[in-house]
Structure 1
Amino acid sequence: MTSLLSRLCLCLFVLRIFVTVIQGEFVDLPPNGSMRSLAEEETVLPCHYQPSGNDVVVQVTWYKEKSDGTKEQIILAHHINGQTAFGPWSRRVRFRSSEPTVDSSLVIMSTEVSDEGKYICHISTFPSGNFENEMSLIVWTIPISSLEPVILVEGQSYRQAASCRSIARPSPRISWDTDLNGQSINRSSDNGAVSSHYSLHPLRSMNGKKLDCLVWHVTSPTPRRLRNRLVVHFPPHVEVSSNNKDWSVGLENAALSCVSGGNPKPQSFTWIRKDSELPEGVIPHPNGTLIFGRPLSLSDRGIYKCVAKNEVGEANAEMEIVVTDSSERQIFPENMLMLIVGGVAGGLLILMLIIVITVTCHHKRKNTKLEKELTEKKEEISTLSRQASFRRVNSISTDTRGATEENIPLRVEGTLRTSLSSLGQETRFHPPLTPSPFPTIQSTEIVRQLNGSVIIPTDGGSRPGSVTKNHQHPPMSCTYPPVTDDEDEVDEGLGGPASQEHPDDQDSETNSSQVSEAHSTRYQQTNGMFRPKPRPSPSGISPHASLIHKAQIV
């Protein structure tokens, strides 16, 4: 039994191969058995059958399958009797080839959306019989779009500014191309229609801005652009201008212009003169210009007001016109020239005063500075001169070891005279006082006070390295009156002014004569040298004691 079934299957398989070889086939079929077409365009449904062997195509018939499953005959072509179209298809369809039995493709001349569906190509051959090929037709439509702008008014609340609609198969997509700050709402329906509404808050600055609607669909690689500009109405704004800056009596062709903006543009202009009527001979024009048709006069003065109106509101602006007389106009520049010249002269005078005061103050400051520096230098030179004089006095040797009684007083007096003359001070010498009968011990501090801080040692050891020897001299009190410094002088050795004449030179000469007289009473000249006259020595005093006259320097 199993072998019988195997043999039967093998026979059927061979028979099928044999039938396939001798049977014809459909060529140039659409992929996946489906086609797409656009509405209102020509659509071609391909059907090309190639018979095999001795088969002959006798008849070709096209059918459309309805929604209820029945078939609607469209067109028929017989190889002898010709072709026939049925019903409403007779004016809409035809065969692509003049020999339908060879190329049976069907042409729908103007495709409609209702043409979408399944189509059947039926081929009748002899002697093989009938053959069929099915295909589906999808009909697309190009989007039908529209844009409806909305006129807005400044100050209105948030509302719709534009509406865009489109319908197509399949359904399109809508977007907006704009820089405005708003929001869109999209809606769609089952029949392929979509709509979008763009809403915003209207402002004056938005007027004329771009608000384009873009429609996207599979039938086009780029979107379709519906161009639109936003319209926002707002009240006008007005400015008044003049064609002349100087309004004077007798001026001709004077005019005022009322420049206005707004959306829509104002269509009505009204001119008013405050506190009075418009002068005679003044003509207002519809474009907002006020023309003075005669020469100006003083009566044309006043404040002129322009009022502009549009559909939204109105606005006004004012301008004051001052008409001057020609005589006043000539006097005014002359007065102005005088004022300008006077102002310039006053400014120059003030500038010169400021310069003089500044230079004077500068020189005063400079002189003060120089005087201060000169005073400091003078004090410094005076200090140096006094120090030099003190050093000169101290440089005189007070060593009395090799001196005799007769030479010591002369040496001391000569030293004092030389020192005082170098200082250039007023000096008055008095005769030395008589020695005190009582011994007096003077300390180094007392000697320093008497000699102006110059210590004259009594032991003769004023120089470093000298051998100190104690000589007992009889104490004696010899005091000269103090020497006063009327003015500090600089030593000649330091280049100071000590060599110049001094008002007290006459007093110095008198003092010198008095000193000479005192010396003549005390001393005698022997062999060109002054020696003390012999006199009795008081008791208690050594005859070899030295008599030293000390002068106090202040």
Structure 2
Amino acid sequence: MARGDGRNCHDFINIIGLFSLVTLLTFQGAESQRVKVDPEVMSYPSQTVTLRCAFMEVGGIQLTQVSWIYETKDGQRINVAVYHPNFGPSYPSSPLSGRVNFTTTPPSLLSPSIQISDVQMTDEGKYICEYATYPSGNEQGITTLVMLAKPRNSGSVVNVVAPSVATGVQPVVVARCESADGRPASQITWVTAVNGNATSVSTSGANNTVTVTSQYMLVPTAADNGRDISCVVAHRTQAKPDRIPMKLAIEFQPQVTIVGYDDNWYLGRTNVALTCQAAANPIPTTVTWKTMSGQLPETVQVNQNVLTVLKVDELVNTTFICEVNNRLGTGKDQVTVMVREPSAISSNAGVVAGAVIGCFLALLLVAALIAILVTRSRRQQQGYRGNPGSYDKNLRIFGGGKKSSKNGTGAGAGGNGAGGNNNGPIYVYNDSAQQGLTEKPNHHVPLHLGGRGEEVVTTAQDILLSSELDEAERRKFDELDDEEERYDHFGVGGPILQLRPPHDQDGIMGGYLDDDMESQRDGSVISRTAVYV
């Protein structure tokens, strides 16, 4: 045994000895409470061990002699050391001769402890400290010497072949664990997720040591290959159990799977591939690609377990087979390729184009909605009958809105309707009594007067808004047909413009126009249906 291990063992024994000394003071021998000994002492081979003994409460008792007796496993008793106060120490012939001594010189009857040097594994057993007393007779205490031997622990897996139906399904040994030459015997347990059973066997070795062997058995499958299994060895010489991890080794034929076919191989498609995946133990030796006809198409390239089709054609419309071999046998898989016609859009270009067009149309729709909302907002702000600020009470416009002779539909009265114009005469009423209503030529330029009588060019928006007449107003102007405009004077209120055809002798139209006019607070009269710009 190595020196380092011996020193550590000696320290361990000293700790045990200290514990035994405390026990000695609190416990007594088997047959007398006055003889105090250590119940158990542990030692390693080649070490020196001390067996302590003391007699307590001597009062009234005469101690005559003390003896140390070794009791073998078969029950035989052998004297190894004797001390008599008158005759001194004596060491009878025994297996311990030359290696046993009292700890003090001369020995003491009150504390006759002994030492055994170069302890052997065969020294293990019971040691009895026995006193001859008067008048009580013999009294004794028993110490058990336990010899320790640190075992050599090891573990290994067993290569097995996964059984088939032909060979039968029987449990086999897949892992072994051994704790050799230990003292006392080791305890072995197994830790694994694999369902199996363990058996253990103990055998005696040299120098009273024990070897323990444990085996783990199960019905192996390919799925068990590489799974974790550990044996755990517990022994008195170890501070903690010794764990030995392993991985199962189950041999099986190749299990093959072909991947890569997406059921979308169309004519003209390029660089598509099939991969032959194989699980096997031992590792595969060969991988072979072929078709049902035996020959591969010219557009196919093979690189070990990968088959690449450079360009899909009609010859690829076949069944591809992959065969994988190892020492135990052959495994294979196959896939049938269905070559399809190329689709109209064989890529994502159509999806991308559709997304772009959709976004563009959405933007157009948003822009159109914004334009409609802005236009409606402007119309609401400006009003449907022009800008009130541009109205001049002194200005009257009676347009030459006439029916169109071409299409037979009314162009809208008031001169600002659809098909009308502002080219008719402009009449300006003067408050002075001398001038009254005067005519101002209109040179085909759309005008309107500001609040102070200034001439302002009419905008396109004003003309557009002025065309929004009520349907009833347009109908009234349509009834005027192609009659000429005329005006008349009336009483005190000043001149008023009337639109009356020349042949209206009975004043029917005049009555209508008179009803159409409305007096204002400043004395002027305006038409309800005329358009003021």
Higher helix share: 1
Higher strand share: 2
TM-score above 0.5: no
TM-score when normalising by structure 1: 0.37
TM-score when normalising by structure 2: 0.38
